[in-house]
Amino acid sequence: MSHTELPAAEPSVLEDALAADEHIGHAYTTDKAAYLRRLKRIEGQVRGIARMVDEDKYCIDILTQVSAVNKALHAVSIGLLEDHIAHCVVGAAKDSEAAGDPAIVQDKVKEASDAIGRLLR
């Protein structure tokens, strides 16, 4: 080994499972801390809105904050949807091909489509 090469690291359980093409957890797991931070921030915004209502603040100011919360939740939703497609739907496509059963991937695509429909309502 030359001095520029790093020694091979022990493979992690995650790397072993990925190498074996197994599906682990949920797609958002790797970004879980970031999602939780964003949701805590949104939770604080919602509490702020409740406080504004309690303090009889101007309607338009409250609506502006509600709009900001909706936008933030939308961003979380889009991120989760992207993770679902990249992990769950792609994994189902591989499983579907391996099993010769197109219903496996069709079910995941339907789940994603239904989620998108709920987001658009």
60/53 Cα distance (integer angstroms): 11
Instruction: Please report the pLDDT score of residue 24 as a whole number.
Output: 54
- Other CB atoms within 10 Å distance of the CB of residue 22: 10
* 48 Cβ contact list (under 8 Å, min separation 6): 65
Cα–Cα nearest to 82, from 23, 17, 30: 30
DSSP secondary structure code for residue 21 in this structure: T
Question: What are 30-44's pLDDT values in tens digits?
Answer: 789 999 999 999 999
| Highest mean pLDDT pick, 18-32, 40-54, 95-109 | 40-54
Instruction: Please report the pLDDT score of residue 29 as a whole number.
Output: 76
Which of the four pLDDT bands, split at 50, 70 and 90, describes residue 28? confident
User: Taking the model in full, what pTM does it have?
Assistant: 0.70
Quick check: 60 pLDDT over 60? yes
Quick check: 3 pLDDT over 70? no
Instruction: Please report the pLDDT score of residue 26 as a whole number.
Output: 74
- Mean pLDDT computed over 67-95: 94
